[in-house]
Structure 1
Amino acid sequence: MIRLSALDPMPTDLRGAIIALGNFDGVHQGHQQVIAQARALAAERGAPLVVATFDPHPVRYFAPHVPPFRLTSLDQREELFAALGASAMLVFRFDKALAETSAEEFVDRILAERLAAGGVVTGHDFTFGHGRRGDAAMLRTRCEALDIATRIVAPVEDAGEVVSSTRVRKALEAGNPQEAARLLTRPFAIRGEVIHGAKLGRSIGFPTANLLMDRYLRPKFGIYAVTGRVLTGPLANGPPLKGAANLGVRPSFDPPTELLEPFFFDFSGDLYGQTVEVALHHFIRPEEKYDSLDELTAQIARDCDEARRLLADIA
């Protein structure tokens, strides 16, 4: 699996590839269906499969003031695309130049000439080009005139509603990670480098691996039952870790600092500077402020007991 820039010509061995085209933030059930149909078309034609995504998300470019909303990082998407059969991830850098590219230029100059696409598969609601003038119907018409195969994929429904990144975000903001996981087909996970903190958790017997939230969506603040994966360093690729995590601003401490702080059960090791991915499985309770360290410590112990119970079925 390789990562390509859409600013560069397509490598020779990937010319004629079938390109699954979309934002794919979340890589939820609907996105997976688009990629599955692109994979099927690639198999029919004996062509490689390339999955294209946009970074930053177009919303971030046009409305930089909106709160963070990302469901996946580029690294996470690359892993997910590889698991879905892609040979490469193609990244469109969404900047002023791309925003001002007309829909016609996007198809003719980028997809056909620079990327030498053999086929394009996208969702029914995909829009592109300056002023969002391009839609799925226009994409099909223009691609077919250039002898580029197209497939437009219908929405995937779940419980009578279309599966969307918006639904996933709403579930997480409501403190319902199980619903988000059902729509994603996996738990929502935050990936980042473990940073040094005040080490107060260590002083009360609950050392945490602190992660900044960066551009990720903020789920409902509170305590979660979580699992973790260490992705770098000497502890990488070890067994999954189970734990309890505080996600929020730590109201019992000053100054308030927004962090994800997992405490992993039965674990000892130095994770500082290592990349860790923390998956949210169950919401236990909202954040609270405690008047004493003893009161906080007792509550953390109860939270850990509850997290162990909730995670008992996870191998």
Structure 2
Amino acid sequence: MTVFHRNEKKEPLPDRLKGGVVAIGNFDGVHRGHRSVLERALALSETSGAPPLVLTFEPHPRTVFQPDRPVYRLTPAPLKARLLEAVGFQCVIDYPFDKEFSQRSAEEFVQSVLVDWLQASAVVTGFDFHFGKGREGGPAYLMAAGERLGFMVSLVDAFRDENADVISSSRIRSLLAQGDVAAAAGLLGYRYTVEAEIIGGEKLGRTLGYPTANMSLPPETELKAGIYAVHLRTADGTIRDGVASYGRRPTVTERGAPLLETYVFDFSGDLYGQTCSVSFFGHLRDELKFDGLEPLVEQMRRDEEEARALLSSVRPLSRLDSTIAF
């Protein structure tokens, strides 16, 4: 998997990647709607023999224009790259998006990026893709530019779910804010997953018989506080069942930022410093404040039993789910 990051944008692509079929978009979440665009690009690549590439932008443009309101990213760049690789792409280009880049004309983007640098043979994007200063470039502009400059353009309509509702990243974020990780998985096509380094905590869980692997998620994370049945993937790829609490620990303390604390079943190893991922299978209950530690531990036992029961029957939703959450 080749990933080009922000400081490498001026480096020439390897010859094997030139003339590719380029899927363009933010693709936050790599959800089922995105995959209608991605699968079109892969199909064109297979037919033409040209390499399939993804052109995306980092950071998310909305974060650049509204830095005081950063976007809740469903899939930060490293996780997004792994998902795109699992889908079938050979290269992901994380093109740097800043205010200077946003002021470039649509013509400059097409000529300097698509034609001169990528030498794209085909471009695939959503029907509502806009680009260039003031969003002057749209679908009609892109198609005309392709005819003029020699690359094919394929536009993909919005993908709708079984109820004919459009699948979007914002819709998935709203479901996660409600704690409905099962519905979010249905739109993603895989279980919602976060990734972070395991950090030290107050070690109270260990004294209660429930040691946890703790993660600090980005402050803009909007996942509902509560208790979840999860899989935890360690750095070596091992998958373990567990139950996770996300929130501010109201029984013990409500100070500080929310933490994701995962109790890994039947495990006594040391995960500190490892970058692990946690995939969410079900919301068990909301975060509650208990009258002391004894009723908290009793509830934790019930949470463990419920999580074990739920996880005992889970199956992959898709090949992508198998790659990420199993």
Same fold (TM over 0.5): yes
Alignment partner of 2:214: what SS?
A: coil
Residue type of the alignment partner of 1:274: Q
The counterpart of 1:81, out of the listed 72, 80, 84, is 84
Alignment partner of 1:161: what SS?
A: coil
Alignment of 1:72-221 (within 5 A): 72-158=75-161, 159-214=163-218, 217-221=221-225
How big is the shift at 1:215?
A: 6.0
The equivalent residue for 1:296 is: 296
1:230 aligned to 2:229?
Answer: no
How big is the shift at 1:68?
A: 4.4
**Alignment: residue pair count:** 310
How big is the shift at 1:253?
A: 2.4
Residue type of the alignment partner of 1:269: G
Structure 2 CA distance for aligned equivalents of residues 93 and 41 of structure 1: 26
Structure 2 CA distance for aligned equivalents of residues 24 and 8 of structure 1: 23
How big is the shift at 1:81?
A: 0.9
Q: Does structure 2 conserve the Cα–Cα contact (< 8 Å) formed by 1:18 and 1:120?
A: yes
Alignment of 1:41-80 (within 5 A): 41-66=44-69, 68-80=71-83
Structure 2 CA distance for aligned equivalents of residues 61 and 312 of structure 1: 43
Measured against aligned partners, the alpha-carbon deviations of 1:170-220 in whole angstroms (never above 9, x if no partner) come to 111111111100111001101000001111111101011100112663211
Structure 1, unaligned runs of 5 or more? none
Q: Does structure 2 conserve the Cα–Cα contact (< 8 Å) formed by 1:119 and 1:150?
A: yes
Alignment partner of 2:100: what SS?
A: helix
Q: Does structure 1 conserve the Cα–Cα contact (< 8 Å) formed by 2:103 and 2:133?
A: yes
The equivalent residue for 2:244 is: 245
Q: Structure 1 123/297 Cα, relative in aligned 2: closer, same or farther at 3 Å?
A: same
How big is the shift at 1:7?
A: 3.8
Q: Does structure 2 conserve the Cα–Cα contact (< 8 Å) formed by 1:212 and 1:258?
A: yes
Alignment partner of 1:295: what SS?
A: helix
How big is the shift at 1:101?
A: 1.3
Structure 2 CA distance for aligned equivalents of residues 105 and 9 of structure 1: 18
The equivalent residue for 2:40 is: 37
The counterpart of 2:30, out of the listed 6, 27, 42, is 27
Alignment partner of 1:210: what SS?
A: strand
Alignment partner of 2:215: what SS?
A: coil
Structure 2 CA distance for aligned equivalents of residues 141 and 174 of structure 1: 43
Superposition TM-score, scaled by structure 1 size: 0.95
Q: Does structure 2 conserve the Cα–Cα contact (< 8 Å) formed by 1:197 and 1:210?
A: yes
Superposition TM-score, scaled by structure 2 size: 0.92
How big is the shift at 1:10?
A: 2.1
Structure 1 CA distance for aligned equivalents of residues 205 and 147 of structure 2: 60
After the TM superposition, which segments of 4 or more aligned residues of structure 1 sit over 4 Å from their partners? none
Structure 2 CA distance for aligned equivalents of residues 60 and 155 of structure 1: 24
Structure 2, unaligned runs of 5 or more? 316-326
Larger mean Cα displacement after TM superposition, 110-119 or 145-154:
110-119
Alignment partner of 1:277: what SS?
A: strand
Q: Does structure 1 conserve the Cα–Cα contact (< 8 Å) formed by 2:62 and 2:71?
A: no
Tell me how large the CA RMSD over aligned residues is: 1.4
Measured against aligned partners, the alpha-carbon deviations of 1:16-68 in whole angstroms (never above 9, x if no partner) come to 01111000000001111111100111112111001121111001111112254
Structure 1 CA distance for aligned equivalents of residues 129 and 10 of structure 2: 21
Q: Structure 1 86/228 Cα, relative in aligned 2: closer, same or farther at 3 Å?
A: same
Q: Does structure 1 conserve the Cα–Cα contact (< 8 Å) formed by 2:219 and 2:257?
A: no
Structure 2 CA distance for aligned equivalents of residues 14 and 122 of structure 1: 19
Q: Does structure 1 conserve the Cα–Cα contact (< 8 Å) formed by 2:62 and 2:70?
A: no
- Could you tell me the percent identity over the aligned residues? 42
